[in-house]
Amino acid sequence: MAGLALDQGTSGFILGADDPTSIQLFAQEVAPAVRELVTAERADPGSRAKAVQEQREVVEAGGSTALAVRPTPDPGVRLSERRLWDESTRPVAPPAPAGHVYTPHAQAVGAHLVDVHDHLRQELGQVRDLLDQVRRGVVSAGDARAVLNEMTMRQNNWTLGAYCSAYCTVVAQHHGLEDNSIFPHLRRSDPGLGSVLDRLEEEHVVIHDVVEGVDRALVNLIQHPGDFTELQQTVDLLTDTLLSHLSYEEQNIVEPLARYGFYPGQV
């Protein structure tokens, strides 16, 4: 951002996010650092590199070799008899390098993925509550369909994962990284993550189909009211696959994201 202000004359930046953690991080860390870099460079041309290094040293002074954020464990309970993947075949990310220091910013990057996943878990609870309301006649199947279509899990389409579809797109626009999304960046940063990222992408496609299955079940209920069997089965299958996937993704991606960021040069 400092480079855009100094080299391109950009006078303002808009944060395209409504997450409190991102807003706080932008206001308390990113914006002040950018202002300081720009001020230093304009007062003393050529000082940008020195100022960047000084900023890095200040941040790293408060760093830690322990990653504070903890991935959410798999609940371990399965509601559906169907299994859309074999969890025992999931690859595991390579261990983090010994002694790596996580800056406060890096800690926040890792935590943000968990925050977004928690939002999806909350939406899953809303889906299950909708099923109960439809069964009790409080909400029609058509109204439930409309609510489902507004949810993040439906809008994101799972093409780049829960996080990338919303946040990474904004980041790409603001930083000129349109061709770089989260997974390609992680692949370049650590080739050892390749098999994990392949598996996550495969599971994203599966979950997209499961979400679509809930919608189809609602349509069928509209056409054939009274039989909730299919809808219950699809919602249970969504619960199993989504909670399993989110936990697996956090266990393997939170730490690399804290180490490498969501895009080049973020941490």
Q: Which residues make Cβ contacts (< 8 Å) with residue 230, sequence separation at least 6?
A: 217, 220, 221
Q: Which helix (H) or strand (E) holds 220?
A: helix 194-223
Check pLDDT > 90 for residue 254. Answer: yes
Q: Where are the domains of the chain?
A: 2-61, 91-260
CATH code given to domain 91-260: 1.20.120
Region 40-51 average pLDDT: 62
Tokens of 74: 């798999």
DSSP state of 103: P
pLDDT in tens, 135-176: 888 888 888 878 777 776 655 544 333 333 333 333 233 223
* Three-state secondary structure of 126-182: HHHHHHHHHHHCCCCHHHHHHHHHHCHHHHCCCCCHHHHHHHHHHHHHHHCCCCCCH
Q: Is 54's pLDDT higher than 60?
A: no
Pick 78 or 153 by higher pLDDT. Answer: 78
Question: Would the pLDDT of 253 be above 80?
Answer: yes
**CA neighbor of 232 nearest in space, from 127, 93, 104, 106:** 127
Q: What percent of the chain has pLDDT over 70?
A: 75
